[in-house]
A and B are shown apart, each in its own frame.
Chain A
Amino acid sequence: MHEVSIVMSIIDIARQQAEKASASAIEEIELDIGSLSGIELSALDFAWNQAVKETVLENAKRTINHIEGRAECLDCNTVLQYNIITTLVHLAGDT
């Protein structure tokens, strides 16, 4: 459940930014989360609902942009999808 720590960091960053902008509320927050980031979305959801209570993000609408993992072949520079950590073998001519 390191997602709790992640959500706490997000709240901290949001609070700092809101103070800097003299904003009274945050209505929407957009997050980019990659498939290789080690964040489990359902765990993030669970942590989020508890952690944002009585913070600047309590009523904020949350949008998550899911970023696909990518790997580049060292031989031919072909860019491949890479969403789980494993060895990827790319043969010339494959896509």
Chain B
Amino acid sequence: MCVTCGCSSGSNSDTHHHGDHSHDHSHGNQKTIIDVEKDVLQQNNLLAERNRGYFYAKNIFALNLVSSPGSGKTSLLERTLTDLKGELEFAVIEGDQQTSNDADRIHATGTKVAQINTGKGCHLDSHMVLHAIEGMKLKDNSILFIENVGNLVCPAMFDLGEKERVVIISVTEGDDKPLKYPDMFHSSTLCVINKTDLLPYVPFDIEKVKANAKKVNHKLEIIEVSCTSGEGLQDWYGWLKSKMLVPETV
């Protein structure tokens, strides 16, 4: 008898795998057990790798921007696209449940933009991004911002093919957010703390949020900015430029 599945060995042989062992045996009433051993997110991961390969080949630096709604993702983008216009080449994918409001804001800066409406969906997935980039004719040696749906939980699980994941938190939120939503902070490489101009007016302890973020991800880089006053934006721009690979001249 197989100790893993409890069925007895017999003459009708079915090849049978249990992860680390396999054997042949029968299931009297023609039942077959199929060992799938597949990640349920395999399809997403596969398409994410496809996107990643495309970005790599074209030397596109793709960023997945994640946060709760209202942290200022779109404002940070508007500011960045305006300030670095002419210096770097950009394109943007906007993810929202409904409307093209964010895409309209990005479009106003003169940047190429695609809007994905997820409808009832709470996150972007690699398949949606694949379709968005198909129509975008992205330029080589450019930066692609993918602004995810405002949600600190669900997007954490879905690789889009990005090079870096950037989590944005604003000082009007709680400084314990990294502990409350650890998956997102754990899977990100950079944390941007936004709206620092409001620090005098809110009970937000910036050192505490940094400590909390480091608790769930000790490798997390942290940049403090204010899109309103412009404070700290140079650090963010410096980070972006440092990540842009200089194309080799042949």
Contact = CB atoms under 8 A, between A and B. Distances in A.
Interface of A: 1-2, 5-6, 9-10, 12-13, 17, 21, 23, 27, 31, 38, 84-87
Contacts of A86: 179, 182, 215-216
B125 interface: yes
Interface string B179-206: 1001100100000000000000000000
Contacts of A27: 31
Interface in B35-93: 36, 38, 40-44
Interface stretch (B100-108, B131-139, B153-161, B167-175): B153-161
Contact of B40 (A6, A17, A23, A87): A6
Nearest to A31: B40
B34 A10 contact: no
B99 interface: no
Nearest to A5: B125
Given A2-B158, A9-B40, A13-B40, A85 B183 contact: yes
A2 B186 contact: no
B44 A2 contact: no
B244 interface: no
Contacts of A1: 122, 154
- Give me the 7 closest cross-chain CB pairs, A-B, nearest first: A2-B154, A85-B182, A9-B40, A85-B186, A38-B157, A87-B215, A85-B216
Interface of B: 31-32, 34, 36, 38, 40-44, 121-123, 125, 153-158, 179, 182-183, 186, 214-218
Nearest to B182: A85
Contacts of B216: 85-87
A17 B44 CA distance: 18
Given A5-B123, A13-B40, 11 more contacts: A2-B157, A6-B40, A9-B41, A9-B42, A10-B40, A21-B34, A27-B31, A85-B217, A86-B182, A87-B214, A87-B215
A79 B66 CA distance: 32
Given A17-B34, A23-B32, A87-B218, A6 B183 contact: no
A5 B126 CA distance: 12
B182 A12 contact: no
Contacts of A2: 122-123, 153-155, 157-158
B200 to A, nearest CB: 30
A85 B122 CA distance: 22
Nearest to A9: B40
A9 B44 CA distance: 9
B24 to A, nearest CB: 16
B119 to A, nearest CB: 12
A21 B182 CA distance: 40
A19 B215 CA distance: 46
Contacts of B40: 6, 9-10, 13, 31
Nearest to A13: B38
A6 B41 contact: yes
